[in-house]
Amino acid sequence: MKKIISMLALSLFAATAAFAAEGKVLLVADGQAMLEMGSDMKLKKGASVKLNGKTGKITAVEGTKLTIKSSNAGDVKVGDTVKVDKVASMQGC
């Protein structure tokens, strides 16, 4: 029984594991960074993310471009490649 519960917990963790991708900075203004992401991006407006390790929120999504409001958005420069991680939500806890 313990083995089944462990396998279930691991598969649940794998299903909710954080999305991570890289994007290229197109524009930085007013504490927000606009990024060009890959076509396989599955992020939506309002999602909580981490921009190079600091928390932020997606404020706009247009095709493969997204805008993230983050405390460290001013630290990135146009042309930089940055890491975007989706923050796993703990719904129901």
- At 21-48, the pLDDT tens digits run 899 999 999 999 999 998 777 889 999 9
The bridge status of strand 32-36 relative to strand 65-70 is antiparallel
Q: What is the pLDDT of residues 46-86, one digit of tens each?
A: 999 999 989 999 999 999 999 999 999 989 999 999 999 88
Q: What dihedral angle (degrees, nearest 10) is formed by the CA atoms of 78, 80, 81, 87?
A: -70
Of the candidates 79, 63, 83, the residue with the CA atom closest to the CA atom of residue 24: 79
**Domains plus CATH for the chain?**
18-86 (2.40.30.20)
Q: How far is CA 45 from CA 12, 34, 54, 68, in A?
A: 24, 13, 18, 9
Question: For tokens 């940055």, what's the residue?
Answer: 82
